[in-house]
A and B are shown apart, each in its own frame.
Chain A
Amino acid sequence: MIESITGGYLTSEVAGIILVLIGLYGLMTKSNLVKQVLAINVISTGVVLYFTKLGYVEGGTAPLIPSEVMVDPLPATLMLTALVIDVAITSFALALIMRMEGSP
């Protein structure tokens, strides 16, 4: 259904890039620190979506059992690492914001 509206131009890659741009908009316009951390998270989601599409092969299966068509597992693996870094950073940023209130 969505494809018929967008004419096939809205692939997940494009959607990822749009998410990155939305996050950038948030970082440029919102002065609330928690909102900025959320904006950074939106950017990270966009990058993850973009990467996941990179490894996708039309009609491919998970590369667990040998089969004819498999998706490329590497980009998804890389994103696993990136997501772990993201979680750690988000919690640290929020802790930093909590400590900043009140103290100079």
Chain B
Amino acid sequence: MIPLLVALPLLFAFLTLLLNAFRVRDGLRRALFVLGILSPWPIFAASISQLPVSTVVGGWERISGIEVALNDYNYYFVLGELIVFSLVGLYSVGYFGAERTAGHPERDFTSPYIFSLLLLLHGGILGAFVSSDLFNFYVYMELASLSSIVLVACSREPGSRRAAYRYLMLYLLSSFFFIFAIGIIYVKTGYLNLHLIQQNLVPSQEVHMAVALMAVSLMTKAGIFPLHFWLPGAHSKADTPVSAVLSGIVVKVPLYGMILLLSYLHLEFMKNPLLVIAFSSMFFGIAMALLQDDAKKLLAYHTVSQMGFVLLGVATLDVDAAIFYAFAHALFKSGLFLGVGVLVSAQNTKSLDLLSYRGDKMVMAAIIFLSLAIGGISPFIGAFCKQQLLSNLHGFGVYLFYMAGVGTLVSFIKLNYKLLQPTKEALSLPALEKIIAAALAALTLIFGIYFYPQLDHRDIILILLAVALFFALRHVGLLRRQIPRFFEPTVRDLGREINLYTGVYVLVNLAVLFQLLY
């Protein structure tokens, strides 16, 4: 049953491409796309009752086949993926029709392929989430990320191709190191199946080195601080539905890989470097987000910061906290991208000084709800996840964690403060897209009440503190500071950027490996 979860979206991806070649009517192609997006639901629903399940594809022995499973580790990842992708799929049916062909239908040569690419992405992500085999995980992760890189390159935004190139290069580099490390694990244990690796693993310096290499590669793919360069560009230049999927789900695939490393291989020896990286990612993301003037870039930098929170769960060796935070982040970040995206396409600007949600109550409520959710205010889902993360921290870590929480709130108060400004003309927003953003906001509330049905009074203090801090920062003028540009937007400087990023990647690898010696 579980292999079908992956096979159906891939089949529909092929069919949409085929229908495109036969020049079939547009409506039929869209219907097929929606069918493909929704197709894994019945299989998922049928498998829930008998959790945990695992099968080896083709009925082989575990030792020679590829195992797929649906268990406690990936249940919430798959659920989050299905929820977000279904809603984003419906959103993109409207988005890629009206928006892109307006005025110039003959120039729109990418739209027909986008549906197919989104379905490939859907299948790739699901495949990575269900596989219990290292190499299979790698192949599906590659499928997912390649489709997302092509989707970024399809965007009309100036600079989207440079962003796609940056994404591609960093991605490839880390992929090769990842596969190199898989080779070391294979030599040491003789298997690629995670259960068999766990049974046959004898901890040694080589195994630790391989795990460290894998961890650094996965952190690059997840866009965690010292290796985040590709993320803000790619996530902010992509089309709105693509941004929502990228920030909501695609970055969770490597983090799921981290969770696999934590639960099947050993990651305890990397606890301290991971803690440092997680906290620095949290604060760096917030600091950069505070300085942004571009609404989508602000959200993209928050992804860097939020990935730090998920990594904190991994670093404190608490698998559940990481899983729930990843699930929560998938819901609220995709909702925020869709909500802000509705405004961006209606008002045709991304600048925070010009955008406004004053004219539309539904979008306004959705964005405020989602901002509270990402800030970790009860009873939204963020509060539950923050409680879980907080329970593993002691002493200094607790204060840092609260500071990061307040920082996130300050940044979202800035977003809402800017969006509250009055507009000159009345807004007319597409109904379906508004409802989808509101649905994600409602889901964060529903899941929050389901997981953690209580109100925390300390949250009010946090909000007041954040408001005070926001106005203080605004008064000082820190929020308007220009960020110096190190690279010009030319092809030559793009090459230099890649040189620098490769250097940083190598340095981080060396630092982590060096730490292993002591």
A27→B502 contact, CB < 8 A: yes
- Residues of A near B494 (CB, < 8 A) are 33, 100
A96→B153 contact, CB < 8 A: yes
Chain B interface main SS type? helix
Say which residue of A47, A54, A92, A104 sits within 8 Å of B159 (CB atoms): A104
- Flag whether A18 is at the interface (Cβ < 8 A): no
- Flag whether A32 is at the interface (Cβ < 8 A): yes
Report the minimum CB–CB distance from B483 to chain A (whole Å): 20
Say which residue of A32, A40, A44, A54 sits within 8 Å of B183 (CB atoms): A54
Chain B interface residue bracket vs A: 35 or more
In the complex where A30-B495, A96-B168, A100-B491 touch, is A24 in contact with B180 (Cβ < 8 A)? no
- Residues of A near B187 (CB, < 8 A) are 54
- Flag whether B221 is at the interface (Cβ < 8 A): no
A47-66 interface bits toward B, Cβ cutoff 8 Å, 1 = contact, 0 = none? 10011001000000000000
Say which residue of A36, A50, A100 sits within 8 Å of B169 (CB atoms): A36
Say which residue of A32, A88, A99 sits within 8 Å of B161 (CB atoms): A99
- Residues of A near B173 (CB, < 8 A) are 27, 40, 43
B183→A30 contact, CB < 8 A: no
B183→A28 contact, CB < 8 A: no
B495→A31 contact, CB < 8 A: yes
| Cβ-closest chain A residue relative to B496 | A31
A92→B168 contact, CB < 8 A: yes
B123-147 interface bits toward A, Cβ cutoff 8 Å, 1 = contact, 0 = none? 0000000000001000100100010
- Residues of A near B159 (CB, < 8 A) are 104
- Residues of B near A4 (CB, < 8 A) are none
Within 8 A of B (CB), among A49-104: 50-51, 54, 74-75, 78, 81-82, 85, 88-89, 92-93, 96-97, 99-101, 103-104
A40→B169 contact, CB < 8 A: yes
Report the minimum CB–CB distance from B468 to chain A (whole Å): 41
- Residues of A near B165 (CB, < 8 A) are 33, 93, 96-97, 100
A81→B139 contact, CB < 8 A: yes
- Residues of B near A78 (CB, < 8 A) are 135
State how many residues of chain A have any CB contact under 8 Å with chain B.
Answer: 34
B506→A24 contact, CB < 8 A: yes
| Cβ-closest chain A residue relative to B498 | A36
A27→B168 contact, CB < 8 A: no
B179→A47 contact, CB < 8 A: yes
- Flag whether B413 is at the interface (Cβ < 8 A): no
A31 to B158, CA, bound (A): 21
Report the minimum CB–CB distance from B87 to chain A (whole Å): 29
- Residues of A near B180 (CB, < 8 A) are 20, 47, 50
Within 8 A of A (CB), among B487-506: 489, 491-492, 494-496, 498-499, 502-503, 506
A44→B176 contact, CB < 8 A: yes
| Cβ-closest chain B residue relative to A44 | B176
| Cβ-closest chain B residue relative to A97 | B165
| Cβ-closest chain A residue relative to B509 | A24
B502→A92 contact, CB < 8 A: no
Within 8 A of A (CB), among B147-175: 149-150, 153, 158-159, 161-162, 164-165, 168-169, 172-173
A82 to B187, CA, bound (A): 18
| Cβ-closest chain B residue relative to A81 | B139
Say which residue of A31, A43, A74, A88 sits within 8 Å of B176 (CB atoms): A43
**Residue among B139, B169, B172, B494 with the most chain A CB within 10 A?**
B172
| Cβ-closest chain B residue relative to A86 | B172
Report the minimum CB–CB distance from A55 to chain B (whole Å): 9
A30 to B498, CA, bound (A): 9
Report the minimum CB–CB distance from B405 to chain A (whole Å): 38
- Residues of A near B452 (CB, < 8 A) are none
- Residues of A near B153 (CB, < 8 A) are 96, 99
Report the minimum CB–CB distance from A75 to chain B (whole Å): 7
A43 to B502, CA, bound (A): 13
**10 interchain residue pairs of minimum CB distance:** A31-B495, A104-B158, A27-B502, A28-B502, A100-B161, A31-B496, A43-B176, A47-B176, A28-B503, A40-B172
Interface residues of A (CB under 8 A from B): 20, 24, 27-33, 36, 40, 43-44, 47, 50-51, 54, 74-75, 78, 81-82, 85, 88-89, 92-93, 96-97, 99-101, 103-104
Given A27-B499, A27-B502, A93-B168, 19 extra CB contacts under 8 A: A20-B176, A20-B180, A28-B502, A31-B492, A31-B498, A33-B495, A36-B498, A40-B172, A43-B173, A47-B176, A47-B183, A82-B179, A85-B142, A89-B168, A92-B168, A96-B165, A100-B161, A100-B494, A104-B158
